[in-house]
Every structure is written in C-alpha cells, then in structure tokens.
Amino acid sequence: MNPPNSSTFVAETVERESSWLRPALEREGAPEEEVDHCLATAVLVRGVMNAIPVPAQAETESCEVAVGEMKDQLLGRGDEPVQAPWYLKVGQRMRHVFTLNKKR
C-alpha cells in the first residue's frame, strides 16, 4: 500500500487516531498537552507504518521462521545440563547454615 501524497492524509490520520486515543487518555486523566503529544506521535507512527512496503508473503515467512526457531529451541533443551539459578543455590546454603543440616 502506497502512502497518499495529499495534505488530507495528515488530517484524516489525526481524525482516525483521535477517535480512540483522545478518549482513552482523557479517561486516564492525562493533561491536554500530553494528549496532543501522544496524538502527534500516533500520527507519525501511522504515517511511517504506511510508508514501509511490506511484501505479500512477509507475515507467512516470519511465522515459519519463528516456529522453526521455537522447534529448534525445544528440541535442543535436553542437550545441555540444567543448572539451578544462583539464588536457589544461595537459599539452599542458607537453609543448611540456619538449620545446621537438621532434618525436619
């Protein structure tokens, strides 16, 4: 989708973003100055996102790559020995010190 090159694009984007963003920020009690800054940021982000050309198969390809990475990580879990985090080791030693290795 090519971004429109007309001056109406900004006005239309401000109107679209303002319809949901302004009420949400006002409910949160944001000052008017902050609402205006957030609205300007939302319009800028929307414009940038519309300006970036996205290939037709980009979503499918990125999903396939992510699923492949997750499978690799899942299958590779058993290869490395698992070590307890440092705080569990400290807790275990502190329990030993304070109970003097007494069984309950």
pLDDT digits (tens, 9 = 90+) for 40-86: 898 888 888 877 787 889 889 999 999 999 988 887 776 677 777 88
CA dist., res. 60 & res. 62, Å (int): 6
Contact indicator for 35, 26 with CB cutoff of 8 Å: yes
In terms of Cβ atoms closer than 10 Å to its own Cβ (0-12, 13-18, 19+), residue 30 is middle
Could you tell me the pTM of the whole model? 0.43
pLDDT at position 104 is 58
Amino acid at residue number 100: L
Would you give the distance in Å from CA 28 to the centre of its chain?
Answer: 21
| Residue-range domain boundaries for the chain | 8-54+73-99
pLDDT at position 83 is 77
What does the DSSP 8-state code read for residue 80? S
